[in-house]
Structures are given as structure tokens and as C-alpha cells.
Amino acid sequence: MTTLNTDYDLVIIGGGLAGSALGGSMALAGFRVLIIEKEMKFRDRVRGEVLLPWGSVEAIELGIYDVLLENCASEAARELFFYAGVPTKPRDFRTSTPKGTCVLSFSHPEMQEVLLGRALQSGAEVWRGAALLELRPGAAPEVDVEFEGEVRQVKARLVVGADGRESQLATLIEFERTRDPPELFTGGLQLSGDLEIERALYFFCMRSLGGAAYSSRTSPETSGSICCTTRMLCQNAFRASGILRR
């Protein structure tokens, strides 16, 4: 086992939205940051691709809004709401939200790449394809990480678990987990091709089908995604609105 005498201020397990944003900002503030990410390449998962206006406020304060906008995201300034296929009056986010922010939409894996890249550029060290093996809590917590074919022992002032809802770190430190019984089911669908529609956040609500769906363009150019909640099927959302083509 190799023991590094490197001391990090912060070791972050997980290079998702949370870990990368935190790591980048802390590195910019002058702290020594190590981010441990298990994936070499981010794959598409059913995950958040719409940052709602209040999230945009946070993103601006964190300094990641423009980074996302310039590299992988597009803005949706209006919400177009369809109830049982009937459009209601569009909502303009810039004039109806407390800070005049709108929605930011992106492909989740692209967003992860961009934010992890920002963390790296800001001075954070990033170990990709690394596996967390052990965590020893304490005044100066230690983690054992397998990286580049060897086991490395790293000491830090603070270890942050940003490894998602199945958090291995939470398991290692024996956090108790509770789960509510499932109520809502959510699925996602990634679309490609130019939809030739306004860059807006679309909501489709169908009480008869017991569900709702939303859709947005996830890339500045050509693709979009649709996310459905509860029993509603994506196809029904399209039929209900009649405004989107496949």
C-alpha cells in the first residue's frame, strides 16, 4: 500500500453535480481538493436535466451558470403548460420569478463532464476510475482508494460523500437508511433530431392518466428529453399536446 503524505483539505467522493460544483468552488477559494469519481466516462442515466429558476439562482451564485450555458446548456425562458392537451397562458420566467431567472436545461452526462472539467481547471485534483475501499472517520479522516492499479491512503481535513443516493460512503459509515413506500414512478426519454419548437419548458398534465410529463431541450443544438411521472406514458404526452413531433 502506498501512503501519500499529501494532505487535502477536502476529499469528495463522487464527481456528479454536487461533488464537482463543491470541489470546483472550494478549489477556487484556495483549498486543496481531491475528487474521487468511479466512472471513466459518464453514461446517460435517468437524471435531472432541468434546473428550475430557483436552482438557476444558486448556480449563478456558485459561478457555474455561465459555465454550463457556454458549454452544454440552453435556457428556456417560458413555461408552456398543457392541461389535458389544452394550452394555458404561457408563463415568462424572467418577469415572474423573484430574481428574473429562467430554466437551464442540459444533458446530464455532458453537464457532469463540464463541471468536473471546471473543478480540474480550478485546481482540484480528480481521480477518475477510482474505487473507494475504506473510510476511517476521525479528526483527520482517511480513505483507501484504488487508483491506477494501486491502493492509496489519503488523509483529509474533511471527507464529503457526494456519491448519490446509493452512497457507498453512507454504507461504509453505517448510516441508517429508510425508504418511503414507492408512490410516484418516473421515467425518461432522450430525443434526438431538431424538434423545431420553442426552447421552453413544456408541462403536460393528464388527470385521466394519473400523471404528468415535462420536456425541454437538453442541448443548444438538436436534442431534447422528456421526463414522465407516475403512470403516464411518454406517447400519451405527445398525443395530448399535438405540438411535438418525433
Ligand X SMILES: Cc1cc2nc3c(=O)[nH]c(=O)nc-3n(C[C@H](O)[C@H](O)[C@H](O)COP(=O)(O)OP(=O)(O)OC[C@H]3O[C@@H](n4cnc5c(N)ncnc54)[C@H](O)[C@@H]3O)c2cc1C
Q: Which residues bind ligand X (CB under 6 A)?
A: 13-19, 36-39, 46-51, 55, 112, 132, 162-164, 168, 186, 188, 227
Q: For residue 141, what is its C-alpha cell?
A: 479522516
Enumerate the β-bridge partners of residue 128.
37
Closest distance to ligand X from the beta carbon of 81 (Å): 16
Closest distance to ligand X from the beta carbon of 64 (Å): 12
Question: What is the gyration radius of the CA atoms in the chain, in angstroms?
Answer: 21
Pairing verdict, β 78-83 and 201-206: parallel
DSSP category for residue 142 = E
Cβ-based nearer residue to ligand X, 186 or 235: 186
Enumerate the β-bridge partners of residue 202.
80, 215
Cα–Cα distance for residue pair 109/20, rounded to 1 Å = 12
Closest distance to ligand X from the beta carbon of 165 (Å): 6
Burial class (CB in 10 A: 0-12, 13-18, 19+), 102: buried
Closest distance to ligand X from the beta carbon of 89 (Å): 23
CA pseudo-torsion sign 94, 57, 185, 244 = positive
Cβ-based nearer residue to ligand X, 51 or 209: 51
Residue 215 near residue 226 (C-beta atoms within 8 A):
yes
Cβ-based nearer residue to ligand X, 6 or 186: 186
Enumerate the β-bridge partners of residue 215.
202, 226
Residue 178 near residue 30 (C-beta atoms within 8 A):
no
Cβ-based nearer residue to ligand X, 86 or 179: 179
Cβ-based nearer residue to ligand X, 21 or 139: 21
Closest distance to ligand X from the beta carbon of 126 (Å): 11
Cβ-based nearer residue to ligand X, 17 or 209: 17
Closest distance to ligand X from the beta carbon of 132 (Å): 4
